[in-house]
């Protein structure tokens, strides 16, 4: 794969404190981007930003709570104030809450929708407000294999990831006339805290690694301006069908 040259580009990665988000932030930094690592836990994103800088990149850490609209607006206001531009947004942050439909608390469903869908929507909205005037940019939404499949005890989570796919598909069409691209990456099982919580029965040896998803992000950013990719379904090559 051709490594994209992201020198001078500004990239926001949500959920960047650990797992997939941290791997994506590090990969973007190594490719030359100025990375804004965003998540709720300041210590974690400070660690990610420090790792990017230690690898020779440039990074800031900005705390954000996707369930809080004002917090999301403040994140992008900080990006606008410091950098004056946004070239890449990777919407990775999300939560997973699980249980049978018949006993699943409505409050948990509301929380899933607020973070996974509404938070992602707000980030896309703010990104478009920066990218459209520039006539360029790339929004990459990290969905999940459950964005097109279903598994037991994951109905609420699955519904939000299907919703992220609907958002991405519509955004891709709406944004293209402004020179902005939007894609979704749908990973299967990845060795993260969330997957270990949802599927403690899975052997980590059959799972993808966060770096595999980061490589998919770099692939999208390496494409010429002529090319558009709607979605990437990323799964383990051997060992498990998802």
Closest CA to 32 of 54, 62, 9: 9
**Structure-block tokens of residue 229:** 């990719």
Q: Quick one: 169 exposed, middle or buried, by C-beta within 10 A (0-12, 13-18, 19+)?
A: middle
The Cα–Cα gap between 186 and 206 comes to: 17
Q: How many CB atoms lie within 10 A of CB 141?
A: 26
Is 233 noted as a catalytic residue in this protein? Answer: no
**Cα four-point dihedral sign 211, 217, 220, 221:** negative
Q: Which residues contact 201 (CB under 8 A, 6 or more apart)?
A: none
Nearest to 138 by CA among 223, 233, 16: 223
Q: Please report, in angstroms and rounded to a whole number, the separation of the first and last CA atoms in the chain.
A: 23
Q: Which of the following is catalytic: 98, 138, 151, 157? A: 157
* Residues designated catalytic: 157
């Amino acid at each position: 794969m051709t490594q994209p040259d992201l020198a001078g580009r500004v990239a926001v990665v949500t959920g960047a404190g650990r797992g997939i988000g941290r791997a994506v932030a590090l990969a973007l930094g190594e490719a030359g981007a100025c990375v804004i690592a965003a998540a709720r836990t300041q210590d974690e994103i400070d660690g990610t930003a420090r790792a990017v800088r230690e690898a020779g990149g440039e990074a800031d850490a900005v705390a954000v709570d996707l369930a809080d609209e004002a917090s999301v607006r403040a994140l992008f206001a900080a990006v606008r104030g410091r950098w004056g531009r946004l070239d890449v947004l990777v919407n990775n942050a999300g939560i997973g809450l699980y249980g049978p439909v018949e006993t699943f608390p409505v409050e948990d469903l509301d929380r899933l929708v607020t973070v996974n869908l509404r938070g992602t929507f707000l980030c896309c909205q703010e990104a478009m407000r920066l990218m459209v005037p520039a006539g360029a940019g790339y929004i990459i939404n990290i969905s999940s294999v459950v964005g097109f499949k279903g598994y037991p005890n994951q109905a609420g989570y699955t519904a939000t990831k299907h919703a992220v796919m609907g958002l991405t598909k519509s955004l891709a069409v709406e944004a293209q006339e402004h020179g902005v691209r939007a894609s979704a990456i749908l990973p299967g099982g990845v060795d993260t805290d969330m997957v270990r919580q949802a599927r403690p029965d899975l052997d980590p040896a059959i799972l993808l690694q966060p770096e595999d998803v980061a490589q998919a992000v770099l692939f999208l950013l390496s494409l010429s301006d002529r090319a558009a990719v709607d979605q990437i379904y990323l799964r383990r090559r051997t060992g498990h069908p998802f």
